[in-house]
Structure 1
Amino acid sequence: MAKAGNISRVLIVGGTGHMGRRLVWASLTLGHPTYVLFREENVNDIEKVEMLLDFKKAGAHLLPASFHDPQTLLQAVKEVDVVISAVAGNHLRDGILEQLKLIEVIKEAGHIKRFIPSEFGMDPDRMADALPPGNQLFKDKSKVRRAIEEAGIPYTYVSGNCYAGYFLGGLGQIGPGLIPPPHHITLFGDGKIKAVWNDEMDIATYVLKAVDDPRTLNKAIFVRPPANILSQKEVVQIWEKLIGHELHKSHISAEDWLKTMEGKPVGFQIAISHNIHLFYEGCLANFELSDEEEASKLYPDVKYTTVEEYLKRYV
């Protein structure tokens, strides 16, 4: 494929989603010729149309295509060197099925030098023993990985860990809201289990730094910057320092936390089961990484956002 110098042409699928839009801006910021898949079925969604027009104004190329028409996907893939998927996963598994279709198209095209599937959270291959119903999401994402490998498509897998927008906003809690509570916080267990909290824009930047890096080819990398490996209790202490007073604290055991699943929608049950692994078992920080696996070590030029810097926006 034709390239601008040594910088790959990048196609982002799912570019109007929560992570997708950040991947688009990161790609543009880092100077990649950036292409965004424009789903023809979204022409009546004004928010998505306006976002796409903002991308276009900033220099992105919009490529109309539909997952219902593989030939339109193939034409879009033929325009680029690298494909990044940010399609949303959900309990209906639509996102997983779309990624499997995308893999078929990339294999048919035969020239893509890197595919980054839609993950960006916990490493699915480390979550084989995850609790239901959240375990199905990890099984599906691992299925996508195996399909990529079996197709012989060059890849990079990126684990971004806890999205700050969803996790830091509630100081680790789910349900009460996406801004820090002013008076009361519920700690998972003793609140001392380490997690990893990352600004989504930082995750996107590391993804785009990796696309042309031979060190990340056919490997998994983890966004685990040292300053952001913190327990829920440490995050709460940072917030208390910023607001100048302590929060009233209560604690919930793993057993009682699991009981809160009863009667909840499936999406909420998935979040509850994930939190067991995050905040009671420490699945994000309980294993060692080499410098070639950790994004902030691979790319020390990226100034990542610390937890304290992120929380200042709420003060």
Structure 2
Amino acid sequence: MWTFSFYIHPQSVLTSINTYLSFLPKFNLSSKTYSKPDISMAEKSKILIIGGTGYIGKFVAEASAKEGHPTFILTRESTIKHPEKSKLLDNFKNLGAKLVIGDLHDHESLVKAIKEVDVVISTVGGESVADQVKIIAAIKEAGNVKRFLPSEFGTDVDHVTAVEPAKSIFKGKADIRRAIEAAGIPHTFVACNGFAGYFLPNIGQMDTYTAPREKVTILGDGSAKAVFVKEEDIALATIKAVDDPRTLNKILIFRPPGNTLSFNEIVSIWESKIGKTLEKTFVSEEQILKNIQEAPFGLSVLLSISHSVLVNGSATDFEIEPSFGVEASELYPDVKFTTIDDYLTPFA
């Protein structure tokens, strides 16, 4: 099922941003062009992860620890006692990560945790996107953060075409970007596009959790290029970016060639693996837009994001200009991105 962690109320984002921006000083951020740095012998930054037990957060936390970064996981007392999340926390500790008791809504604990690190990575869910102004305020007070990566991990919200409700949700994340820039905080925005684990196991079918064997439904004409990346690969490239001057104040955009395919191309790969031609139903854009308008909020979010990516092609319909972005697979050729073809093999 195609989805992202974007279940938030857009108005709450705008209210929080406007309140915060009203008292922020203005900063001018300069953009620089860097050649490939030699950071192999550099001391690795200490990283605080906020939202480390969430969907993408657990991958990022694990990658941080495995890559040798002193890793700190902001954790509530209730999370430690949670039967499932406590297992994740135990795994992080076994990898060398340190649990830091604190809360996004407890300013003092947030500042205290941030003062211990160099880099802050937020992987909070969509319902907490607006609350990242609290992280911004804490980073400003702490005064020691070299890089902030807010909760993004989806389509590049500064270069996206979408209808409501996705339009307002994307704008909420863009507003957080503007608040970070206005605060003069060094940053990297991670636009990894689609999570492979959400879309590929069922080939984007919304009515089943398994890959189709007889029939497949394709949104639009299936020709728009989309991007789906394995979560472990997203996490590894994200961690590599934290100490990389080439990603400073830039958008890290993921477009590995083997992960950038149209819906039709993905279906074709799947058909070749199962040795069978599927019966295809194409849903017109007109029908998709009608479904978005008639669906309850949660489903309309899902459909409107799908429309943006799979019909409008918002993941790939713009050039990555050096003035604002860098491409992950070009920056990190040592990251062996799992191609869509390889990802689908175990499901055949």
Q: Indicate the TM-score class for this superposition, using the shorter chain for normalisation.
A: over 0.9
Deviation at 1:260, TM superposition (A): 2.1
Number of paired residues?
A: 306
Match of 1:53 in 2: 90
Q: Distance in 2 between matches of 1:131 and 1:210?
A: 31
TM-score, normalised to structure 1, is 0.93
Cα distance in structure 2, aligned partners of 1:139 and 1:285: 18
Which of 198, 202, 215 is 1:170 aligned to? 202
Out of 211, 217, 236, the residue aligned to residue 205 of structure 1 is 236
> Following TM superposition, by how much is the alpha carbon of 1:193 offset from its aligned partner in structure 2, in angstroms?
1.3
Structure 2 distance, partners of 1:5, 1:260, is 52
Aligned to 1:251, what secondary structure does the other structure show? strand
CA distances 1:144-173 after superposition (whole Å, capped 9, x unpaired)? 111111111100011001111111122133
Q: Output the CA distance in 1 between the equivalents of 2:118 and 2:340.
A: 34
Q: Does 1:74 align with 2:74?
A: no
Corresponding residue to 2:165 among 130, 133, 149: 133
> Per-residue CA shift, 1:6-37, capped at 9, x if unaligned?
10011111001110000011111211111111
Write the mapping of 1:156-167 to structure 2, written as runs, cut at 5 A: 156-167=188-199
**What do residues 235-269 of structure 1 show as CA deviations (whole Å, max 9, x unaligned)?**
01111111111111111101111222355331210
- SS of aligned partner of 1:185: strand
> Alignment partner for residue 31 of structure 1, among 49, 54, 68?
68
Q: Give the aligned residue type for 2:230.
A: D
CA distance in 1, matches of 2:290, 2:321: 38
1:277 to 2:308 alignment = yes
AA of the residue aligned to 1:240: E
**What's the CA shift for 1:41?**
3.6
CA distance in 2, matches of 1:12, 1:51: 14
1:107 maps onto 2:140 in alignment: yes
In structure 1, runs of 5+ residues without a counterpart are none
Superposed CA RMSD in Å reads 1.6
The answer on whether the counterparts of 1:169 and 1:177 sit within 8 Å (CA) in structure 2 is no
Match in the other structure for 1:147: 179
Deviates more, 1:43-52 or 1:99-108: 43-52
Once residues 144 and 100 of structure 2 are traced to their aligned partners in structure 1, the CA distance between those partners, rounded to angstroms, is: 18
Higher relative contact order (CA 8 A, sep 6+): 2
One-letter amino acid matched to 2:49: I
Separation (CA, whole Å) in 1 of partners of 2:330 and 2:321: 9
Structure 1 stretches (4+) deviating beyond 4 angstroms? none
The CA distance in 2 between the partners of 1:209 and 1:279, in whole Å, is 29
Tell me how far 1:44 sits from its aligned partner: 4.0
Give me the whole-angstrom Cα distance separating, in 1, the residues matched to 2:130 and 2:315: 26
TM-score calculated relative to the size of structure 2: 0.84
Secondary structure in 2 aligned to 1:261?
helix
